[in-house]
Amino acid sequence: MTKRGKSVRIEGITKHYGSARVLDDLSIDIAPGEFCTFLGASGSGKTTLLKVMVGFEPFESGRVSIDGRDMCDVPVERRNIGMVFQNYALFPHMNVGANIGFGLEVRGMAKAAIARRVDDALAQVGLAGLAERPPAELSGGQQQRVALARALVIDPDILVMDEPLGALDKNLRHAIQLQLKQLHRALSLTIVYVTHDQDEALHLSDRIAIMDGGRIVQQGTPREVYFKPRTPFVATFLGECNIWNDAAGPLALRPEHVAVAKAEGASGPGVAVVEAVIFLGGGQKIVARDGDRQVTAIIPFPVGAPELQIGERIRYSYDDCSVHRFD
């Protein structure tokens, strides 16, 4: 029995809150089984878009379809979408098992069947045996995984997640990201994901859609969006980027593509003065100034050589093929 996630089609959605246009003629097609991430600044409309997709929010124009079927007269609970929201609030008065089983109980499933499904869902998120615990006796990461189990237990066609890992520390976030990726593959789920975290978006997604002011300004694979940003906004939103102007317009260059060498006493084009040296653990970030051009470089530590100092002159260089010009 192979199950596969369903497609989601968003066509020309416009939504206002009062007089503010929050979604502006927004369209996107999400393929069955795809992991699609929406990335955008606070207030760009990500949560609103998810609510529209799931059926929590009305909208003025446009259409949401799942596997080709218009959802306009299909209520939330009939869309078979699992949801994990930003504040993963579990019901505090119910134990973990009851929290997870709640959606099945509402659907009228028999108790024994619910217990089986709950155990399966707990095992899927690595929490087997915790069904009896009250949520207050779980760590934040465990609570988050209970919320994930609660979304998975209904055997959803689509999993919608809004900043699900935002409150977790980095190690835990990475562990759950890995789990999520494995679940995505194992269950062939369609996942619609929202995050503020660029690295998370790059690691997890088949496709990233960058939102700004209620619109999708660019979408593509993580590589496409990272290496071929269409605008300076996208370039600087997804990772750090040098944006320099020349006669032909703005050009983008990733800091990891900038090489730096000490250049004591040198001057002229290609020479900059170091303004900051930032320790990154795996390397270092150098911020320097060449006239009105700010130069950011991410470079390895100099093995056996002295570190760069603020005020020191450097020569910076890059391969022309690393430079990205906007269309």
Ligand X SMILES: Nc1ncnc2c1ncn2[C@@H]1O[C@H](COP(=O)(O)OP(=O)(O)OP(=O)(O)O)[C@@H](O)[C@H]1O
Binding-site ranges for Mg ion (CB under 5 A): 47
Q: Tokens for 276? A: 């900051």
Q: Show the tokens assigned to 128.
A: 């087997």
173 binds ligand X per the rule CB under 6 A: no
State the Cα angle at 162 between 158 and 167, rounded to 5°. 135
Q: Is 43 in the site for ligand X (CB under 6 A)?
A: yes
Counting contacts by CB under 6 A, is residue 48 touching ligand X?
yes
Question: Is residue 53 a contact point for ligand X (CB under 6 A)?
Answer: no
Minimum CB separation from ligand X for residue 164, in Å?
A: 12
The partner in contact with residue 302, picked from ligand X, Mg ion, none with C-beta cut-offs of 5 to 8 angstroms by kind, is none
| 46 binds ligand X per the rule CB under 6 A | yes
Q: Is 156 in the site for ligand X (CB under 6 A)?
A: no
Binding partner selected for residue 91 from ligand X, Mg ion, none, CB under the kind-specific 5 to 8 Å limit: none
Alpha-carbon gap, residue 67 to 75, rounded angstroms: 16
Position 45 contacts ligand X (CB under 6 A): yes
Taking contact as CB under 6 A, which single stretch among the options 42-50, 94-102, 144-152, 229-237 is the one that binds ligand X?
42-50
Instruction: Give whole-number Cα distances, 149 to 2, 28, 41, 122, 159, in Å.
Output: 20, 27, 28, 6, 11
Q: How many CA atoms lie within 13 A of 99 on its CB side?
A: 27
Q: Which is nearer to ligand X, 65 or 86 (CB)?
A: 86
**Which residue, 40 or 229, is less far from ligand X as judged by CB?**
40
Angle at 153 between CA 151 and CA 157, to 5 degrees: 70
**DSSP states along 16-48:** EETTEEEEEEEEEEE-TT-EEEEEE-TTSSHHH
45 or 101: whose CB is closer to ligand X?
45
Number of residues engaging ligand X in binding (CB under 6 A): 10
Nearest to 145 by CA among 203, 112, 196, 99: 99
Residue 190 within binding range of ligand X, rule CB under 6 A: no
Q: Which of 108, 49, 119 is nearest to 77 (CA)?
A: 108
Distance CA 30, CA 230 (A): 21
Q: In the window 232-261, what residues touch ligand X (CB under 6 A)?
A: none
Binding site partner of 124, from Mg ion, ligand X, none, Cβ cut-off 5-8 A by kind: none
Instruction: Return residues touching ligand X (CB under 6 A).
Output: 17, 22, 40, 42-48
